[in-house]
């Protein structure tokens, strides 16, 4: 990665090169692998899905929602909800702020529950970012670091059901240790582990996916040559691309559900022999 700083209009090229982007007087940097574990902590607030929250939060701007979640929790004595603190940590990493810099919520002094913008003070200079502008910055930070923002139009019940099915189908648990992952990638690339710490996180994650895809392709190809059949087709048909995801894999359609329970529905007025829902 070079020291080039791209204007926002060059966003695509900058992300392709894992290089920083300037927007409205502030430079946003791709996070480094050295901050990987911090990234895992703050990423949860970046990818917050508002549609799964109570209606009072779901209809707010993202910036207001993040502030209100922590503010309301603190009023109730809950110090565990730290959404605003996590967002501040994310901005400190992305903007490479120092201890003398500051992130401050801005709004009506008579209504501390409501904010309209966030002020970044870097090297003594003030930069105010409105809630509308922050939506653009949120997307920028996500793209720079390989995070996928939620589609608020998705049905939250279907999403939760898909996650439950995925968890139920997992027949093993991994001892996920970042140090082990770092060593494994370094070993595959034949470089020292310390070199990876300076890599942008997105480049590192892209490399991890490429390695996984390569081995998946090799193993799947060997299995097919020995007669193995995959119910939904080869999960790794090529070493170059990921297979397109089924958005709600594991869920069945309403037509399938109706067909499976047609007899039960048709005989609803008769005493049930066995309730399939219990």
Residue range 8-55, pLDDT digits in tens: 999 999 999 999 999 999 999 999 999 999 999 999 999 999 999 999
**Pairs from 113-118 (Cβ < 8 Å, separation ≥ 24):** 113/68, 113/71, 113/72, 114/64, 115/63, 115/64, 115/67, 117/63, 118/63, 118/91
18 shares its domain with 140: yes
140 shares its domain with 180: no
CB 81 within 8 A of CB 73: yes
Please give the pLDDT value at position 241. Answer: 86
Across residues 78-106, what is the average pLDDT?
A: 95
In a domain, 11, yes or no: yes
The total domain count for the chain is 2
Residue 186 reports pLDDT greater than 90: yes
**Averaged pLDDT of the chain:** 84
**Predicted confidence band of residue 268 (pLDDT cuts 50, 70, 90):** very low
178 shares its domain with 90: no
16 shares its domain with 133: yes
Domain that holds residue 101: 6-144
125 shares its domain with 32: yes
121 shares its domain with 51: yes
139 shares its domain with 22: yes
77 shares its domain with 18: yes
44 shares its domain with 89: yes
pTM: 0.79
107 shares its domain with 196: no
Residue 169 reports pLDDT greater than 80: no
Across residues 177-194, what is the average pLDDT?
A: 92
Across residues 177-190, what is the average pLDDT?
A: 91
Highest mean pLDDT among 158-167, 171-180, 192-201, 260-269: 192-201
118 shares its domain with 205: no
Residue 160 reports pLDDT greater than 70: no
What lies within 8 Å, CB to CB, of 211 at 6+ separation is 185, 188
214 shares its domain with 140: no
In a domain, 77, yes or no: yes
Q: How far apart are CA 152 and CA 5, in angstroms?
A: 32
Residue 244 reports pLDDT greater than 80: no
In a domain, 252, yes or no: no
């Amino acid at each position: 990665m070079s020291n080039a700083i791209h204007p926002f209009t060059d966003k695509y090229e900058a992300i392709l090169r894992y290089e920083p982007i300037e927007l409205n007087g502030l430079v946003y940097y791709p996070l480094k692998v050295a901050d990987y574990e911090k990234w895992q902590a703050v990423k949860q607030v970046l990818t917050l899905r508002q549609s799964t929250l109570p209606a009072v939060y779901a209809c707010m701007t993202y910036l207001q929602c993040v502030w209100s979640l922590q503010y309301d929790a603190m009023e109730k004595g809950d110090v565990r909800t730290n959404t605003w603190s996590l967002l501040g940590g994310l901005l400190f990493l992305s903007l490479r702020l120092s201890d003398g810099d500051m992130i401050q919520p801005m709004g009506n002094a008579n209504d501390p529950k409501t904010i309209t913008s966030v002020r970044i003070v870097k090297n003594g200079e003030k930069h105010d970012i409105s809630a509308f502008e922050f939506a653009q910055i949120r997307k920028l930070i996500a793209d720079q670091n390989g995070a996928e923002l939620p589609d608020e139009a998705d049905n939250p019940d279907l999403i939760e059901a898909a996650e439950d099915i995925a968890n139920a189908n997992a027949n093993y648990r991994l001892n996920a240790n970042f140090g082990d992952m770092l060593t494994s990638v370094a070993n595959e690339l034949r470089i020292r582990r310390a070199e990876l710490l300076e890599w942008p996180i997105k480049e590192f994650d892209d490399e991890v996916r490429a390695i996984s895809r390569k081995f998946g392709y090799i193993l799947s190809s060997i299995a097919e040559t020995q007669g193995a059949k995959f119910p939904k087709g080869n999960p790794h048909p090529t070493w170059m691309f990921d297979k397109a995801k089924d958005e709600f894999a594991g869920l069945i359609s309403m037509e399938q559900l109706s067909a499976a329970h047609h007899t039960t529905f048709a005989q609803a007025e008769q005493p049930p022999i066995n309730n399939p829902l219990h």
